[in-house]
Structure 1
Amino acid sequence: MVAATAKLQEQFDAGLTTRPDFTIDQPRERYGAADHAVWDQLYRRQRALLEGRACDAFMEGALRIGLNVAHVPSFAQVSERLMAATGWRIVAVPGLVPERIFFEHLANRRFPVTWWMRSPDQLDYLEEPDCFHDLFGHVPLLTDPTFADAIHAYGRAALGVEERALPLLARLYWYTVEFGLMRDPSAPYGVKIYGAGIVSSKGETLYSVESAAPNRLAFDLDRVLRTRYRIDTFQKTYFVIDSFAQLFDALGAGIASRLADPAALIAVQPHAAGDVLQSDTIITRGTREGWLDDGDV
């Protein structure tokens, strides 16, 4: 959900035919044995790690759309199953796309998925989202009707938003769709994972649920919109929703009402990523171990 990067330019330079909406045909012939092996290794590792840690809707969705294969999945086949479930489909893109185009895709129930796979030496860390992050991390939950409608509502609310309000949209997406947790009293730690940035990462899967270092705070829309975040380390704070119905309200009518007149939220100095306020509902207060003092965005 950011402007074109060096990696995206590299994909353009590779000669793939890119349409005005940044979509391409999935170049399946360009996947080599290493690409398929990386998919298989990452899928099997994360699937095992997420048992008991990720929400049931995610685990069931990954199987429902056929990600349990030993090769990079066919986007067309995934789309066919996803369309039957919730009316969504995925479209292949060279990499990160500009915000406006990203919003247009979501508003039309299309989820952009980067086509290329990370290299074998990047299994645990990647600067930009690749096929595994986008497809394994994001798409399974689009089989859940309420979550799927929430992402659609977010895209519609974001269309035509003022440039100065884009940071508000980014914070909301980051703390929910990318790095969100959900309450689950049956889970060993009382929460389960649904955010794509967590489920696609070995380290953050364990850290987000089990580490004593980060804060875990009850989700509050206005609080999230005023909170900076980390892109270079594990998160200092995770916001915990009660249900996808709550998420639908936030990503739809909630953010739409704030974007109608965003001046008040924009004018307020945002909170640091690790702040805990008196008004917060604290699930766990972090020990702050390993935190960096600067670098919030």
Structure 2
Amino acid sequence: MERIRLSANVEFSRLVYGLWRLGDDADTSSAHVRAKVEACLEQGITTMDHADIYGGYTGEAIFGGALKETPSLRDRIEIVTKCGIVAPAGRHAAARVKHYDTSRRHIEASLETSLREMGTDHVDLLLIHRPDPMIDPEETGAALDAVVASGKAKAVGVSNFRPWDFSLLQSAMSQRLVTNQIEISLLAADCFTNGDLAFLQERQVKPMAWSPLGGGRLFDATNRTLSDRLDKIATAQSAEKSAVAVAWLLAHPSKILPVLGTNSLSRIKTISEATKVVIDRQAWFELYTAAIGRDVA
């Protein structure tokens, strides 16, 4: 599988396995988690995407159980995690209200907990999960610089930031923000016109795409034209519609890294089929115009 370099020392698989639903699985045993990771590795998918809040702050510990039982797995994968959301659940059950915390103290404490839960001495990428209206860019930037300097994170980035949020934080840092993980799909195509992707391309920052299948809504046939066009390409290339939708993202020159999450082993084993689907320029625009409901001007 194609590899994408985000920084001098961080390289990810083009497709990323997302673990936001890991704690929802009926089987959260270490053996089952390990089977999911192995299914990814067999396809060349080596990058695992977490956040401290996933599973009500339980997901990293569930994943860590598999790593602790099979330590050799750690050397075969890259770990992404996120911090900054404080919700009244799990370790933050005492919080009075869901809020964001991008203070240095919170970032450092959250990362230490993530490392302990997963049984590793570093993550490959740490992201600030949401833009914080109360952010002190100097403090947050210094905290992110420090975690890289300490070796506890190889690189840092953000998630769900708009260009101005990204620029504000980057202006206070010596380390480079290497990605912005944002929602990109045929159901969230506005990033192709609102400047989000152009901003990242101009800075040579590779975007990560969460919910690339629209949380499954992409296939509910609400948009019959889009569904039909996906079907047409899928049939012509003997592929699943989901693979076509992901291939549409892969075809974009910004080098989008889709983050795909499922608990089904059978579906995990087919994630890489998207890399075999060919989307030329006209096919890309066929799907794009169906998604936005009109021809381009």
TM-score category of the 2 structures, normalised to the smaller one: under 0.3
Normalising by structure 2, report the TM-score: 0.28
Greater strand percent: which structure? 2
